[in-house]
């Protein structure tokens, strides 16, 4: 099965601070995704990437940036964190078959 890891697993940040969430996959998948999960909203797509150097906006990109420096790594950046960005963030990777494999998640609290 695909191996996707995320760091940190838990993060407490202050309003206005910068937060970087990291994701690494060892399956050589071209596609990587960042979601947030809030009660009642399922998984909402923030940014995704089709390969190193590419990033695309998902359904809720405002307030987030993404970076894909290599095939294995995909980062989500909150330049100015706000309390509304308190959530659980999941990274996923996927190949040509469209099935996605999820990392363990990062719980972010913005105070």
Contact positions vs another protein (CB under 8 A):
31, 33, 35, 40-45, 48, 50, 58, 90, 94, 96, 98-105
Residue 18 or 57: the one with the smaller Cβ distance to another protein is 57
Going by C-alpha positions, the residue among 36, 26, 37 that lies closest to residue 2 is 26
In whole angstroms, the minimum distance from the beta carbon of 15 to another protein comes to: 26
Residue 85 or 93: the one with the smaller Cβ distance to another protein is 93
In whole angstroms, the minimum distance from the beta carbon of 84 to another protein comes to: 18
Q: Provide the token pair at 94.
A: 């996927």
Return the bridge partners of 67, or none: 75
Residue 50 or 79: the one with the smaller Cβ distance to another protein is 50
Which residues, 6 or more positions from 92, have their beta carbon under 8 angstroms from its beta carbon? 4, 32, 33, 35, 100, 101, 102, 103
In whole angstroms, the minimum distance from the beta carbon of 16 to another protein comes to: 29
């Amino acid at each position: 099965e695909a191996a996707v890891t995320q760091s940190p697993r838990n993060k407490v940040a202050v309003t206005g601070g910068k937060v970087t969430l990291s994701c690494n996959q060892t399956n050589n998948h071209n596609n990587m995704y960042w979601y947030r999960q809030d009660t009642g909203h399922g998984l909402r797509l923030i940014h995704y990437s089709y390969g190193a150097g590419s990033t695309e906006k998902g359904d809720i990109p405002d307030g987030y940036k993404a970076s894909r420096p290599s095939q294995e790594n995909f980062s989500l950046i909150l330049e100015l964190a706000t309390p509304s960005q308190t959530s659980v963030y999941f990274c996923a990777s996927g190949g040509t078959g469209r099935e996605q494999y999820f990392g363990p998640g990062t719980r972010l609290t913005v105070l």
